[in-house]
A and B are shown apart, each in its own frame.
Chain A
C-alpha cells in the first residue's frame, strides 16, 4: 500500500518554514544548510497569514557550459526537435551572463503543499524567455522529462499539468513562473515513509523532504 500523500496546513507551513530557516541560520547539518541558506520569511504588508519564504540569488546563463539535451516538440509545428546546445555557439552572447533569480516558497491552498515560484531577469531587467530559463543554471541538467515547450509553459508529455508555467504569486499577486505541485505530495509522501530518524516535528521533516525533492530538479544551492 503506498504511503499517504504528504500535506500540511497553512499554519504548519508557516511554523515549519520558520523553524527550518532558523536551523539553517544557526548551523545545523550541512545538507540542511545548502538547500536552505539565505531564505527569509516574509509577511504580506497588511494581511496576516499569507507569509512565504523568499530569497534572491544570482545565476548564470551558462555560456561555455554544455547545456543538457532536451527532447521536446515545438508547440507550434509539432516537429520533434532534439536539441543539443553547445554553449560556445549560443548567439545571444550577453556581456553579462549573470541573471537575477527571485525565489519564493509559497503555500498552495489548493494542493496544501509548498510550491516553488520564481522570476528571473537579465541584468538589464528583461525577463528571460522560457528557453533561456531552461538553459540557465536554475535547473539541474538532464532532470526534466520530455516535454512540449511554448513561450509560456513546459508541459511534460506524461502529465496533464505543465511542469513549469506562469501564475500570480499567491501573496504578491505579481506574475511569476512556478513548478507545478501536483506530483509533490506523492513524491514527498514516499520519501517520508522511508525516513528512519526524523529530526524534529513531522511537518518540519515534510518541509525538509520537500526541499530535497525540489532540489532534485531545481539547483537550490545559492
Chain B
C-alpha cells in the first residue's frame, strides 16, 4: 500500500487519537523499490531474467534489513542449490541504477524522498510513484568508495546514534535514552527489524515528546494532512522555571523541547541542520514556512503563502507551510527521531 501522495485528513485536535493516527500513518508508509541483482555476479546455473525483486519497503526500515528477504527470494527463485551456498551476504552492497552510491544507513523513506525530490519536475510528476531502482551487488564491494559494509549491526549502531542525537537536541542531554535499560534500547531496534509498531512505540513513547493534550481550536481541512494547531501556549522555558508547571505532560510536551530534531535535504545538495526551537521569540509557534524562510529565503519567501519556487516533503507527503515544527517532531519524525524535510524545486507533482 503506497502512501506516496497527499493524504487527506480531517481537521484534528491534538488528541491522543490523532497523535497515534499520524504516528501509525508514518510507521505504515512504504515506498516502491526495484532491486535488481547484477547479472555478472550471479552464481552459475541461476535462473537468469528473474533476478529482480520488487518490494514496498517500509519507510522507517533500512536496506540491510531487507537483505534476508532478498536472499530468500533469490534462493527460492533464482539460485540453484549450489548458488545459495556460494554467495556471501557480507559481500553484498547496493548501488543506485544510475550509478550513485546508496546511503544504506539512511532510512529507506529518506533515501526515496531525496531521490524523488532530485528528479527533474517532469519525471517527478509521473502519475504513479516512481520505483527507486537499485542494483544489488553480490561481491567485490568497492573499498575505495564504501567505507564499510552495510551490515545490520553497523546499521543498528548508526540508528541508535541518531536516536541519541535527537534526544540530546530535544533536552540538552541524553538522559532519556541512557535511562532506558539495554533491553529496552535493543527493543526499539527490534521493533524496526520486525516492523512492529507496538514493539517500537512501547519504548519510543518514553523518549518521544507528545503534543500537549490541551489543544485549543483547529484548522479547516486542506488537501494535505493538517497538523492541528498545538496552540498549547506552553512556553519554552524549562518547566522548573514555571510555578506549578512540573506535571509530566508539560515536561514531555513537544513544545518544551530545546530544539526539534530537523534536517533539511536539498536536491543533490548538502544536509542542513540548525536549532529549531518550537516557539519563536515573539511567542508564535515555529512553523515550517518560517523555518524554511530563515534558512532558504530565496526558495521560500516569507510566509504565509506557499512558495512558487520550491516545496517541502516530509515522509513522502507535501507538507503545508503552516505545519508546526513541534507537531512534526512529535508525529511525523522518522523512527530515528528526526524530521527530514526534503526540498524539491518547482511545484510538487510537476
A interface residues (Cβ-Cβ under 8 A, vs B): 10, 44, 46-47, 50, 109-111, 119, 121, 125-127, 150-153, 160-162, 165-168, 170-173, 175-177, 182
Report the minimum CB–CB distance from B140 to chain A (whole Å): 13
25 contacts between A and B (CB under 8 A): A110-B273, A111-B168, A127-B143, A127-B144, A150-B154, A151-B151, A152-B148, A152-B153, A153-B154, A153-B157, A160-B164, A160-B177, A160-B178, A161-B164, A165-B158, A166-B147, A168-B103, A170-B271, A170-B273, A171-B270, A172-B270, A173-B271, A175-B147, A177-B147, A182-B168
Most chain B CB within a 10 A radius of its CB, from A119, A166, A176: A166
For the complex with contacts A47-B270, A121-B144, A165-B158, 17 further pairs of A-B residues with Cβ separation under 8 Å are A10-B274, A44-B270, A111-B168, A119-B147, A127-B147, A150-B153, A151-B149, A152-B148, A152-B153, A153-B154, A162-B157, A166-B148, A175-B146, A175-B147, A176-B147, A182-B168, A182-B174
Check B288 for interface membership: any CB of A closer than 8 A: no
- CA A179 to CA B165, docked complex, whole Å: 14
- CA A182 to CA B168, docked complex, whole Å: 10
Chain A at the B interface: mostly helix, strand, loop or mixed?
loop
In the complex, which of the residues A47, A151, A161 contacts B154, with contact meaning CB atoms closer than 8 Å? A151
Report the minimum CB–CB distance from A13 to chain B (whole Å): 13
Contact check, B270 vs A173: say whether CB atoms are below 8 A apart: yes
Contact check, A126 vs B177: say whether CB atoms are below 8 A apart: no
Contact check, A165 vs B164: say whether CB atoms are below 8 A apart: no
- CA A172 to CA B151, docked complex, whole Å: 23
Report the minimum CB–CB distance from A46 to chain B (whole Å): 7
Across the interface, name the chain A residue whose C-beta is closest to B144.
Answer: A125
Check B269 for interface membership: any CB of A closer than 8 A: yes
Report the minimum CB–CB distance from A177 to chain B (whole Å): 8
Report the minimum CB–CB distance from A104 to chain B (whole Å): 14
Which bucket holds chain B's interface residue count? 20 to 34
Check B44 for interface membership: any CB of A closer than 8 A: no
Q: Which residues of A contact B345 (CB under 8 A)?
A: none
Q: Which residues of B contact A44 (CB under 8 A)?
A: 270
B interface residues (Cβ-Cβ under 8 A, vs A): 103, 143-144, 146-149, 151, 153-154, 157-158, 161, 164-165, 168-169, 174, 177-178, 266, 269-275
Q: Which residues of A contact B174 (CB under 8 A)?
A: 160, 182
Contact check, A109 vs B275: say whether CB atoms are below 8 A apart: yes
Most chain A CB within a 10 A radius of its CB, from B146, B147, B158, B165: B147
Q: How many A-B residue pairs have CB under 8 A?
A: 73
Q: Which residues of A contact B272 (CB under 8 A)?
A: 47, 50
Contact check, A126 vs B270: say whether CB atoms are below 8 A apart: no
- CA A151 to CA B273, docked complex, whole Å: 28
Known: A109-B274, A127-B143. A151 touches B148 (CB 8 A): yes
In the complex, which of the residues A46, A126, A153, A176 contacts B269, with contact meaning CB atoms closer than 8 Å? A46
- CA A162 to CA B275, docked complex, whole Å: 24
Contact check, B161 vs A167: say whether CB atoms are below 8 A apart: yes
Q: Which residues of A contact B169 (CB under 8 A)?
A: 110
Report the minimum CB–CB distance from A75 to chain B (whole Å): 8
- CA A176 to CA B105, docked complex, whole Å: 13
- CA A201 to CA B327, docked complex, whole Å: 39
Report the minimum CB–CB distance from A134 to chain B (whole Å): 15
Known: A47-B266, A127-B144, A160-B164. A166 touches B273 (CB 8 A): no
Q: Which residues of B contact A121 (CB under 8 A)?
A: 144
Report the minimum CB–CB distance from A7 to chain B (whole Å): 10
- CA A160 to CA B177, docked complex, whole Å: 9
- CA A127 to CA B146, docked complex, whole Å: 9
- CA A171 to CA B147, docked complex, whole Å: 17
- CA A178 to CA B255, docked complex, whole Å: 32
Contact check, B147 vs A126: say whether CB atoms are below 8 A apart: no
Known: A126-B143, A126-B144. A152 touches B154 (CB 8 A): yes
Contact check, B146 vs A165: say whether CB atoms are below 8 A apart: no
Q: Which residues of B contact A50 (CB under 8 A)?
A: 270, 272
Q: Which residues of A contact B273 (CB under 8 A)?
A: 109-110, 170
Report the minimum CB–CB distance from A162 to chain B (whole Å): 7
Across the interface, name the chain A residue whose C-beta is closest to B275.
Answer: A109
Q: Which residues of B contact A166 (CB under 8 A)?
A: 147-148, 154, 158
Q: Which residues of B contact A171 (CB under 8 A)?
A: 270
In the complex, which of the residues A111, A152, A153, A168 contacts B271, with contact meaning CB atoms closer than 8 Å? A168
Report the minimum CB–CB distance from B268 to chain A (whole Å): 10
Across the interface, name the chain B residue whose C-beta is closest to A171.
Answer: B270
- CA A182 to CA B169, docked complex, whole Å: 12
Report the minimum CB–CB distance from A184 to chain B (whole Å): 13
In the complex, which of the residues B161, B270, B274 contacts A165, with contact meaning CB atoms closer than 8 Å? B161
Q: Which residues of B contact A111 (CB under 8 A)?
A: 168
Report the minimum CB–CB distance from B141 to chain A (whole Å): 11
- CA A47 to CA B274, docked complex, whole Å: 14
Report the minimum CB–CB distance from B337 to chain A (whole Å): 11
Across the interface, name the chain A residue whose C-beta is closest to B157.
Answer: A153
- CA A165 to CA B148, docked complex, whole Å: 11
